[in-house]
Chain A
Amino acid sequence: MTDRPHLAVIGAGPAGLAATLAAAARGLRVTLVDSAAEAGGQFYRQPAAELRARRPQALHHQWRVWERLRDDLRAHLRAGTVRHLTDHHVWLVERRPTDFVVHALLGPEQEDPATVRADAVLLATGGYEQVLPFPGWTLPGVVTAGGAQAMLKGTLVVPGRTAVVAGTGPLLLPVATGLAAAGVEVAALVESAGARAFARHLRPLVSQPGKLAEGALYAAQLARRRVRPLFRHTVVEAHGTERVEAVTVAALDAAGRVRPGTRRRIACDSLAVSHGMLAHTDLAESLGCRLDGHVVHVDDEQRTDVPRVWAAGEATGIGGSALALIEGRIAGSSAAARLTGTEPDRAEWDTSLKSRRRLREFAAALDAVYRPPAHWSEQVTDETLVCRCEEVTAGAVRAAVDDLGAGDPRTVKLLTRAGMGWCQGRICGPAVAGLAGCRPTPSRRPFARPVPLGVLAQEPDHPTEEGPS
């Protein structure tokens, strides 16, 4: 035991790893708490160790960056300056007068509790994918693009033999490329954004030549496999009875409406679909952190407006791994300085601050380019399920608005049960808001994941684990 301040970092993706290393290098004791068996997050998700992959880098980009993060983490673990708690699913961070308690559930079954006491917390909780509904999107074989990638990276399996990759966003390219490299025939890459949108945001886009080169590399790899992206196209329906058998795609006009007479059917046994990313903000919300729209508000040092709570990476705005690494570094350095009562050395961060600004501008440009088609909801039939868990149809959501006068997502939820199921609206939230014609609102979930009643009923002063020495 020492009197050095103890920081709990939640999430071992790029942001959490960078923050952990920065904070530990500057003298904090750090406990890195993560749900996976190995560090890396979704971006650097590693194949299960038992699969003994000799060439995991074949599934990844920026592998050298990962190796450096991994090696630095190992050095800190050996030195005892960092403790890494794997298979810990955090469901609540409790703020007490002088410290914080991180509450987690252990292992894949998530029934046994564990707690960590810390002087401060750093939220690097990442994000997950948004998929807007369309007829057939609940069929087995329809998966999120990131889900297909996570299954490939983590367990070396693919969803089928012939895939369509569709939706919008920079993620579609690496997902299509990865599936193709793993032996899947990619029958089509369907992207709703078009060249005009890129042209409108050229300046911030060309300011990141490395990112553009990465995109070009994916495009070249796809071209070699004769996969030609269909721009300004969208999937309007997935067909099948027990699983997806085909999809219908159509061209979009300049306003984002399906152009009549352009529908065509493409046979496939899997559809990987994504309409962008959403930030995981549950822990921040329950701590009372201010949100900006749907992401955690942070200042220049990545501090939230709650004392001794920092946030970095996708939780503070979707921006990719390079931005997450920089934000993590800044946050970890700030935490180290502030918790030891010193002013952070901004000169030391100068390059990071500049890169962060440019990468945020780049992310904002991408966000503007990769918008779901403006009239996506016109393709959603009344019979289409919107809330997958509670099996609530678009018709029911529309009736709640048109016939019952619901004017916000919360009222729609109370009238239809959309968002009351297992996932607590994480999947259907944006769709319900879009169909109801209102802005999505933060959901204010008290817990970040389901918690067994037995855990909640336990006495509150159960012993807590201390940090590394």
Chain B
Amino acid sequence: MSSPLDLADARPGPAFTVTLDDREIEALPGQTVAAALWAAGVTSWRTTRGAGRPRGVFCGIGVCFDCLVTVNDRPNQRACLVPLAPGDVIRTQEGTGHDD
């Protein structure tokens, strides 16, 4: 069973910890929020404003805005673009992600 990391013979530095809704997940240096969540088996991290339906990555390149997430208390960040740093706090986002 190969993995993408094996395929590219990647030797990233040590994994670090971030949190998703207070749950600890591991991230590798260079990974975006979306990449770390996918690697942790998480594919949805937002619910829509209207029907409250789950969403995650769709376009993967910053065009569609489906993967919006709250990172370090900043809502509406595109998970496919934002790189992670140790200790980052990711929160699933409901609606617009604001407190209203």
Question: Is the CB–CB distance between A55 and B8 below 8 Å?
Answer: yes
* Number of interchain pairs (Cβ within 8 Å): 161
Q: Is B35 on the interface with A (CB-CB < 8 A)?
A: yes
A54 and B9 CA atoms in complex are apart in Å by 5
Which residue of B has the minimal Cβ distance to A149? B60
A380 and B92 CA atoms in complex are apart in Å by 30
A53 and B6 CA atoms in complex are apart in Å by 9
Question: Is the CB–CB distance between B13 and A50 below 8 Å?
Answer: yes
Q: Is B94 on the interface with A (CB-CB < 8 A)?
A: no
CB < 8 Å neighbour of A243 from B44, B61, B83? B44
Question: Is the CB–CB distance between A158 and B38 below 8 Å?
Answer: yes
* Chain A residues within 8 Å of B31, by CB: 48, 51, 155, 157
* Chain B residues within 8 Å of A142, by CB: 58
Q: Is A388 on the interface with B (CB-CB < 8 A)?
A: yes
Most buried by B among A129, A147, A243: A147
Q: Is B78 on the interface with A (CB-CB < 8 A)?
A: yes
State which of A61-69, A331-339, A352-360, A421-429 sits at the interface with chain B.
Answer: A421-429
A48 and B85 CA atoms in complex are apart in Å by 14
Question: Is the CB–CB distance between B2 and A54 below 8 Å?
Answer: no
A422 and B97 CA atoms in complex are apart in Å by 14
Q: Is A159 on the interface with B (CB-CB < 8 A)?
A: yes
- B9 CB to closest chain A CB (Å) equals 4
* Chain B residues within 8 Å of A47, by CB: 8, 10, 30
A 114-158 contacts with B by CB, 8 A: 128-129, 138-144, 146-152, 154-158
CB < 8 Å neighbour of B38 from A54, A56, A58, A159? A159
Question: Is the CB–CB distance between A128 and B61 below 8 Å?
Answer: yes
Q: Is A109 on the interface with B (CB-CB < 8 A)?
A: yes
CB < 8 Å neighbour of A147 from B10, B11, B54, B58? B58
Question: Is the CB–CB distance between A147 and B59 below 8 Å?
Answer: yes
Question: Is the CB–CB distance between A157 and B38 below 8 Å?
Answer: yes
Q: Give per-residue flags for A320-336: 1 if the beta carbon is below 8 A from chain B beta carbons, else 0.
A: 00000000000000000
Question: Is the CB–CB distance between B30 and A155 below 8 Å?
Answer: yes
- Residues of B whose CB lies within 8 Å of any CB of A are 1-13, 28-32, 34-35, 38-39, 43-44, 48-51, 53-66, 68, 74, 77-78, 80-83
18 additional A-B pairs beyond A47-B10, A58-B9, A142-B58, beta carbons within 8 Å, are A47-B30, A58-B7, A128-B61, A128-B63, A140-B44, A143-B59, A150-B80, A151-B34, A151-B80, A159-B38, A182-B7, A183-B4, A243-B44, A243-B54, A391-B48, A391-B49, A423-B65, A426-B63
- Ordered nearest first, which 9 A-B pairs have the shortest CB separation? A147-B60, A48-B30, A50-B30, A422-B65, A155-B35, A140-B44, A50-B29, A53-B8, A55-B9
